[in-house]
Structure 1
Amino acid sequence: MSNQPTTKLVKWFCYTVAIGLIPSALRFLSSTFIEGISPISAADFIAFGFVLHISIFNELEHMIGDESWKSFSNTGSIFAIVLYGALMFSLLIVESGYKGIKIASLTNCSFVLAICSFVFCFFILLRLKAKAKYETASQVGEVPCS
């Protein structure tokens, strides 16, 4: 039973983070062999951020108790998704031919937000892991001293 919290974190890395990074990895790999492909793209970072926050919604959906922390985490994810939506809208405007938005700045903002999202989501998963470990220990009577 004590492997379960660790397994959840490992699964999150394998299923969410690794799969979410596939577009970025393929783009980077393709850019080394094919001329004219940029090694990074705002769209890939935006997609990665959406994947991270949707996975956190799913993880928090199964959480019981600590509703204020759950609400705070969901609110943070909703805020991030709104930011990603705004970045995606900006990217669509650039793709339509509008020259007033710097694509490099848009890519940098998307990259920084994706890093922040990863850290935010990672800490949520760590908290869920600690909560599951505590609940498992309390079920067998091994609650640590507070």
Structure 2
Amino acid sequence: MDTRFFKWFVYTVLIGLIPVFCRLLVWLVTKNGTIDPVAPSDFIVFGLVLHIANINEIEHLNGIGGRWKTFQNGMSVLFLVVYGLLFALTLNTASVDIDVIQKCVYVLCVVSFLLSFSVFYTRNAELSLKRGVA
């Protein structure tokens, strides 16, 4: 496995999933019905981590055109705003349909993961070209 991929996966994906893993661990050791095994807020954190990492990675891309970088940064900012809104909605579960929020968050997380992987892949390709590895 490529070292850069492993670092991206551990430092971005697994770090972003820490709230999910923690909730699952707490769910395993508590009485039934005390805590839900998954919550939208945990996956919202995952999406936030992915897009913050995207913005950081894009800042270090030099050989990529400005249009691509602007688009990716814009998408990350848009997703950060949407995740912020969804998080605010999860704070008052009495007035929102939490199942709809949960489904939206899951779809957004899949899209966020794909966008984050594309940023990683582009960064990895740029570094390979600089080192003369094709």
Q: TM-score, normalised by structure 1?
A: 0.82
* Cα distance per residue 1:77-124 (max 9 Å; x no partner): 111111101101211232xxxx33111221221122112101110111
Q: Which has the larger radius of gyration?
A: 1
2:25 equivalent to 1:29: yes
Matches within 5 A, 1:79-94: 79-94=78-93
Cα root mean square deviation, aligned:
1.8
Counterpart Cα distance in 2 of 1:32 and 1:104: 22
Counterpart Cα distance in 1 of 2:73 and 2:20: 26
Counterpart Cα distance in 2 of 1:104 and 1:114: 15
Please identify, of 27-36 and 117-126, the stretch whose mean Cα deviation from structure 2 is larger.
27-36
1:125 to 106, 120, 127: 120
Alpha carbons 2:61, 2:126 under 8 Å: kept: no
Q: Give 5+ residue unaligned stretches, structure 2.
A: none
Counterpart Cα distance in 2 of 1:100 and 1:30: 26
2:130 equivalent to 1:135: yes
2:41 partner letter: A
Aligned counterpart, 1:53: 51
Counterpart Cα distance in 2 of 1:115 and 1:39: 19
Q: Give 5+ residue unaligned stretches, structure 1.
A: 1-5
Q: TM-score, normalised by structure 2?
A: 0.88
In the TM superposition, structure 1's runs of 4+ consecutive aligned residues that sit over 3 Å from their partners are none
1:49 partner letter: G
Aligned residues between the structures: 131
